[in-house]
Chains A and B, each alone.
Chain A
Amino acid sequence: MTTTTQPVRAPSSDKPKKPRRDGFWPWLFVAPLGIGIAVFYLWPIVQTAWFSLTEFGVFGGTTFTGLSNYQELFSNGDLYKAIGNTLLYTAIVLLNVPIAVVVASLLNTPGLRGASVYRVLYFLPYVAMPTAVAMVWRIIFNGDFGVLNRVLGWFGIDGPYWISTPGAAIVAVSVVGLWSSIGFSVIVLGAGLKQIPPELYEAAELDGASRWRQFRSITVPLLTPSIAFLSVVTVIAGFQLFDMLYAVLGTTNMNATVFDSMSLVYLFYQAGFVTNDKGLAAAVAMVVLVLVAVATAIQFRLQKKWVHVD
């Protein structure tokens, strides 16, 4: 495609243009957004960076302590465990993207009856109240009386106590995360599918391409921008895992397994609001910031290699 239809660039003017001076008007127009970002994002980041270098009183008041919070954080095994759990969760939830690609293209089958009903069904978990969803899953996961273990029992599998066995708990939470994120991906990919010109499929059919071949050679490559978007969003959301973990597993007072299943943000919550070590919590927040930035940078770099852009 690239060989024939290269658009001709408009000829550039001979002299390099002088940067135009627009005065304050552009700044005025970006101000609503700019001020919002500065007040609610940039300024808190600066504050948190400073707090991470201090010992922070329970109700405010700081004492500068240099890098001691970071020292404590990096010498303490909790951080690495939290990173591991967060990565595991993110990896499992990322599976929603390939699943959603398949589901979305099935929903897009021409002549499918009740497609909108299916679309609603897939989207429901995404709009349902997360806490209510978590409560229901808690009951499903219950080791003695839960539906899941009952069903596994029919196949002779003795299911663990999902939310109170170290190792199983984080997988259980990830499954809930995966389940609730598929709907959103299906909608995004569905919109992406609508953008693919039907002529491509018609042409492929004339050339004798099978449905599978069409899926592999047309659908997937042309969906890559949506897929890339979804994976970036999923990774960022994965690094921010807290609510699902908190709602499904409960607090450490209720469930000691939480110590083994902590995510980075849970570690932050624990330090900040439970053990009242807010300086350490700020250090955790900085680590999360750096990790998300690095992960996103890597993704953008890699995307240049596989994302199809017209």
Chain B
Amino acid sequence: MNNFSRRSLLLGTLGAMTALAACGGGSDSSAEGSEYTEPAADLKAQLTYSVWDQTQVAALEQNIAAFNEKYPGIEVAISVTPFAQYWTKLQTQATSDTLPDLFWMNGPNFQLYAANQKIDPITGPVEAGAITPANYPAALTSLYSLDGVQFGVPKDMDTIGVWVNKAVFEQAGVDVPGEDWTWDEFQSVAQQISQKLQSQGIYGGAGGMDGQTTYYNTIFEAGGEVIADGKSGYHSPQGQEGIGFWADLIASGGSPSIAQLTDTTADQWFTSGKLGMYWGGSWFRAALAGTDIESDIVVLPLPKGTQQATVIHGVANMVAANSANKQAAHALQAFLAGEQAQQQLGEAGSVIPAYTGTQTAFAESMPEANLQVFLDAVEYAKPLPVSANTTAWNELEVKYLPDAFSGTKPVAEVTQELATQMDAALTKE
């Protein structure tokens, strides 16, 4: 290479780096969102709709078929990405402003996208009367507002309960507990089943590394908080009690070890008939449909600690700020949030629709199982703990807590470490 071209390459590189540096800083688009009027029935548009749950696709297709009766010219393509990869993909799409027109959002990730102007608020549709936030559980609606601006309403909701396999109880000769049971009862029943059915490798209960279905609930039930006022709630007596619950369960043999639960997750133990009681979300209903054990299932509320509690969460449909078809996308968003679509979603039985009054279909979808428990739980439910960069401290939870659950380190030592690290992550936000 001659001297000239080498110099020009260097210059080019330098110039490019300066240009890059100048690219810093986000744009300050208004948070008010676009104006919205209901589109004309003959509007032609193509929309992509990204979701992560394959089991809900059938119900969503019914929703979209109904939507197309009203707007035959709007084509909707559903794209399913498994949950683990969904967020990586969404982040890449958001960075390059190529987000799908409409996409599922959850509590832990919402603030990140809303604060960075990636979502078009629903201010317009609400003013136009297409969406009425008061129709959904208030705790959930608040999860999707940031600085007083509402970005979406929940399409579904879920609470946590204990899924019981009656066949396992029968086999062990243990009675299924009543609905007003306590932590002590749960621990002793789990232990009894595990002992009696040890030879068959069947366990009574199971922990796991998913906070939403396990330790968040016990922390709330102990009267504690996972996160409060931007601080970690783990290193408090209540936080330790909530974590200790699972450490005790594993230590007593009432649950498989953390290593076993990593190889085969609690829901897999349960669906293969090797687990008596599974702490799981209402969404688990869809996974049970059509399995051998479906007829043996009954649901109990979570056993009571210092107080009764459960974690509530729900997914919301969001319109991308970069969407080329915002009007059509908002129309679909409003339709999916409306009573007709919500009723359909509930009848499909995979999830509980969030629209007040459409939930009974869910409860009746598995009449023997007493799914009503999940609806009654809304009364004492607490929203899923989130912050602006939730995934950063979620990582810390899965990094530190296994040592407490497996008993390699005392609970207090682990919560101390976790709380220190988590507070540091929270101040960075």
Contacts and interface: CB of A to CB of B under 8 A. Distances in A.
Interface in A254-271: 254-257, 259, 270
A62 B20 contact: yes
B395 A275 contact: yes
Contacts of B23: 60-62
A126 interface: no
A59 interface: yes
Interface in A202-221: none
A40 interface: no
A42 to B, nearest CB: 9
B212 to A, nearest CB: 11
Nearest to A19: B2
B262 A46 contact: no
A59 B21 contact: no
A5 to B, nearest CB: 37
A165 interface: yes
Contact of B258 (A47, A59, A164, A274): A164
Interface stretch (A140-148, A188-196, A230-238, A297-305): A140-148
Interface string B299-313: 000000000000000
Interface in B381-422: 389, 391-392, 394-395, 398-399, 401-402
Contacts of A277: 392
Which one of A59, A144, A252 has the highest number of Cβ atoms from chain B below 10 Å of its Cβ? A59
A252 B398 contact: yes
Interface in B260-303: 260, 262-265
B258 A253 contact: no
B391 A276 contact: yes
Contact of A256 (B26, B118, B394, B399): B399
B259 interface: yes
Given A251-B84, A276-B389, A59 B91 contact: yes
B399 A252 contact: yes
B260 A254 contact: no
A273 interface: yes
Interface in B50-67: none
A98 interface: no
B262 A164 contact: yes
| SS class, residues of chain B in contact with chain A | helix
B17 A46 contact: yes
Given A59-B116, A64-B21, A275 B392 contact: yes
Interface residues on A, range: 35 or more
Contact of B118 (A50, A59, A165, A273): A59
A224 B25 CA distance: 54
Contact of B262 (A64, A256, A274): A256
A47 B262 contact: no
A277 B262 CA distance: 27
Contacts of A253: 84, 209-210, 394, 398
B95 interface: yes
A255 B16 CA distance: 41
A144 B203 CA distance: 13
Given A50-B20, A58-B91, A254 B264 contact: no
Interface in B146-196: none
A54 B91 CA distance: 19
Interface string A150-182: 000000000001011100000000000000000
Contact of B116 (A57, A141, A252): A57
A108 interface: no
Contacts of A141: 263
A252 B25 CA distance: 31
A142 B262 CA distance: 9
A63 interface: yes
B263 A144 contact: yes
Contacts of B265: 254
A273 B389 CA distance: 12
Which one of A141, A165, A251 has the highest number of Cβ atoms from chain B below 10 Å of its Cβ? A251
Nearest to A60: B95
Interface of A: 43, 46-47, 50, 54, 57-64, 141-146, 161, 163-165, 250-257, 259, 270, 273-277
Interface of B: 13, 16-17, 20-21, 23-26, 84, 87-88, 91, 94-95, 112, 116, 118, 201, 209-210, 258-260, 262-265, 389, 391-392, 394-395, 398-399, 401-402
13 contacts: A46-B16, A50-B20, A58-B389, A61-B25, A64-B21, A163-B263, A165-B259, A252-B399, A253-B394, A255-B262, A256-B258, A256-B262, A277-B392
Q: Which 7 A-B pairs have the closest CB atoms?
A: A164-B262, A161-B259, A164-B259, A256-B402, A62-B24, A275-B392, A273-B88
